[in-house]
Amino acid sequence: MKQAGIGSALVILTLALQSVACASPPVFPHAELSLGGVHIDQSEQQVKERLGEPQRITTQLDFIDRILHYPNLIVSFSEGRIGSIYSDSLGACTPAGLCVGDTLDRAEAIYGDPGLIERAKGSIYWIYRTPFPCFLQITPEGAKVGSLEVACAP
């Protein structure tokens, strides 16, 4: 009789753990914090080696202090390292192959449920977070990916 009770308890515990695991947001891999061939934490020199000279460079007094503007990417730096990479241009893709212009269904097929959907100033953002203070942000445009940004918070 006690064995049946233990077996039932194990089944209930297993189902509870599975439901908790399904309810928590997916862990976004750190390797995916890349866009257009450059990765979070790379130096300006590494970016220029990969992408060449930017069309324009801007500076500002903020956490993000230097910004390289390329035809398909905006690469922002903080203390000499990439802090964010943004694109709303076709052809900018993550390492797993999600690109601006792809469908949101494709984003879900690649990365799963975003786990967090933020609404701000009338816009909706799909957020995939890493264990670090970093994330992939997708801005939907209808049923498509309107822009992609990978970034790390200070």
Q: How is the chain split into domains, by residue range? A: 28-152
For 128, the enclosing helix (H) or strand (E) is: strand 123-129
User: How much is the pLDDT for 153?
Assistant: 81
Task: Tell me the CATH number for domain 28-152.
Answer: 3.40.33.10
User: Span 128-136, mean pLDDT?
Assistant: 86
> Which tens digit of pLDDT belongs to each residue from 32-88?
999 999 999 899 999 999 999 999 999 877 777 899 999 999 999 988 899 999 999
Of the pLDDT bands very low, low, confident and very high (cuts 50, 70, 90), residue 27 is low
DSSP class of 48: H
Tokens of 70: 């390329």
Given the DSSP bridges, would you call strands 74-78 and 123-129 parallel, antiparallel or unpaired? unpaired
Nearest in space to 35 (alpha carbons), one of 135, 141, 154:
135
Burial class (CB in 10 A: 0-12, 13-18, 19+), 139: middle
Q: Provide the pLDDT for residue 79.
A: 87
Instruction: Report the C-alpha gap between 95 and 135 in whole angstroms.
Output: 14
Q: How many CB atoms lie within 10 A of CB 124?
A: 11
Given pLDDT bands bounded at 50, 70 and 90, which one contains residue 26?
Answer: low
Please state the rounded mean pLDDT for residues 126-130: 86
